[in-house]
């Protein structure tokens, strides 16, 4: 968790920018437990990589309702309920607008109690720098806990990121200036690209896909192992394939998917939410978490194998894949 730092231009940047500008299942509301039952026990925590910090094993992702315009009231309720139930890890991105704005509003007065991570997408430093400043403004903070280089794609992309004077140099410079406490990377295209980038830089975190179909198509397990060998924190995403397991594959509940993800070698699983009830249901699963046996994991992987293309839609060759 971070205490915002003083930066000379923060208030000026905030004023100018303000003037100009994960995943829960698609199950029914009735499947979510009542508020009293959900709040009965604390959320388990895990240590974040080599930082020495502990955060809730469930994080709130910044897509879905939080990334939709005109959902101010719903987004406020989702963030407030997540905080109330003990979620301390919040993930968003520059591309998810208005997610950063909603989190800036929802975390006001609570910034010191949460771990806040965002992502930057452009590879051109001249384009990226003002967008990072805009992220700070929208989030209402002078410093984020983690800044991820977003959507690492392939080896050519790694070359663009790491070239002299490129995005990686900018991010390190901004870290030195106090913009972020840690630097991370995220990607769901190929494990090869993430591994290559890890070997060219010093990163604290990696954000990558973890679900039962990953093992059947260009798996990311090798990237998890590489990260751990470097002492990096591992953050799980695409736990339910952005809801496609529910919408297109007939999966009825989140329980097995989230339990599977948390049973891997990860620190946090981030899940977005459509409703407050989805937040409550995900918290229920996280609070009752017991590691899934290896046998049960293999069984779930085989059960989900027919849905491999859909479950890996974000990889080249996956169903509906677009770059």
User: Which pLDDT tens digit goes with each residue over 45-95?
Assistant: 999 999 999 999 999 999 999 999 999 999 999 999 999 999 999 999 999
| 174 C-beta neighbours (distance < 10 Å), count | 21
- Classify strands 115-120 and 180-186 as parallel, antiparallel or unpaired: unpaired
Q: What are phi and psi of 85, to 5 degrees?
A: -90, 5
Q: Examine the pLDDT at 24 and tell me if it is beyond 50.
A: no
Residue with tokens 């060759």, as numbered in its chain = 317
Q: Tell whether the model's pLDDT for residue 30 goes beyond 80.
A: no
Q: Which residues of 92-122 are buried (b: 16+ CB within 10 A; e: fewer)?
A: bbbbbbbbbbbbbbbbeeebeebbbbbbbbb
Alpha-carbon gap, residue 226 to 21, rounded angstroms = 39
Average pLDDT score over the chain: 90
- Sequence-distant (≥ 6) Cβ neighbours of residue 177 within 8 angstroms: 7
First-to-last C-alpha distance (Å) of the chain: 34
Helices (H), the chain: 10-20, 35-38, 72-84, 99-106, 125-139, 155-162, 167-176, 191-198, 221-229, 244-248, 255-262, 276-287, 294-304, 308-311
Give the percent of the chain with pLDDT over 90: 86
Chain position carrying tokens 């006001």: 108
The answer to whether the beta carbons of residues 152 and 226 sit under 8 Å apart is: no
Task: Work out whether strand 54-56 and strand 45-47 pair parallel, antiparallel, or are unpaired.
Answer: antiparallel
What would the pLDDT profile of 194-204 be if each residue is shown by its tens digit? 999 999 999 99
Per-residue tokens: 107: 């975390």
Q: How confident is the model at residue 1 (pLDDT cuts 50, 70, 90)?
A: low
Q: Residue 39's pLDDT is what?
A: 55
Contact 61, 270 (CB under 8 A): yes
In this predicted structure, the answer to whether residue 122 has a pLDDT above a threshold of 90 is yes
The answer to whether 261 and 267 are in contact (CB under 8 A) is: no
pLDDT in tens, 204-250: 999 999 999 999 999 999 999 999 999 999 999 999 999 999 999 99
For residue 173, the model assigns a pLDDT of: 97
Query: CA torsion angle for 300, 305, 309, 314 (degrees, to 10)?
Result: 30
For residues 268 and 161, what is the distance between their CA atoms, to the nearest angstrom?
Answer: 26
Alpha-carbon torsion (269, 271, 276, 282), positive or negative: negative
pLDDT at position 267 over 50: yes
For the chain, list the domains and their CATH numbers. Answer: 22-311 (3.20.20.100)
How far from chain centre, in Å, is Cα 2? 17
The pTM of the full predicted model, rounded to 2 decimals, is 0.88
Judged on CB neighbours under 10 Å (0-12, 13-18, 19+), 145 is: buried
């Amino acid at each position: 968790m971070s205490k915002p730092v003083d930066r000379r231009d923060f208030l000026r940047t905030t004023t100018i920018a303000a003037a100009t500008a994960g995943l829960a299942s698609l199950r029914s509301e009735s499947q979510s437990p009542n508020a009293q039952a959900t709040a009965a026990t604390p959320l388990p925590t895990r240590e974040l990589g080599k930082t020495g910090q502990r955060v809730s094993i469930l994080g709130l992702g910044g897509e879905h309702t939080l990334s939709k315009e005109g959902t101010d009231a719903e987004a406020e309720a989702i963030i407030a309920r997540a905080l109330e139930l003990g979620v301390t890890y919040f993930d968003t991105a520059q591309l998810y607008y208005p997610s950063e704005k909603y989190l800036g509003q929802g975390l006001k007065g609570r910034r010191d109690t949460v771990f806040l991570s965002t992502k930057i997408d452009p590879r051109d430093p001249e384009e990226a720098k003002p967008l990072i400043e805009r992220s700070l403004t929208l989030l209402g903070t002078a410093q984020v806990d983690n800044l991820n280089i977003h959507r690492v794609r392939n080896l050519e992309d790694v070359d663009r990121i790491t070239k002299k004077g490129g995005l990686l140099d900018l991010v390190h410079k901004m870290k030195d200036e106090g913009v972020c406490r840690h630097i991370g990377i995220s990607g769901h295209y190929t494990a090869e690209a993430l591994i290559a980038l890890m070997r060219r830089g010093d990163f604290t975190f990696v954000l990558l896909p973890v679900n039962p179909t990953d093992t059947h198509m260009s798996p990311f397990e090798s990237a998890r192992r590489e990260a751990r060998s470097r002492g990096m924190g591992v953050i799980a995403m695409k736990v339910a394939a952005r809801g496609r397991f529910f919408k297109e594959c007939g999966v009825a509940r989140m329980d097995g998917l989230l339990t599977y993800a948390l049973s891997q070698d990860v620190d946090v699983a981030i899940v977005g939410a459509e409703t407050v009830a989805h937040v409550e249901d995900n918290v229920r699963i996280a609070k009752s978490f017991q590691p899934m046996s290896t046998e049960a994991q293999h069984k779930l992987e085989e059960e989900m194998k027919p849905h491999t293309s859909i479950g890996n839609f974000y990889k080249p060759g996956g169903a509906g894949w677009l770059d």
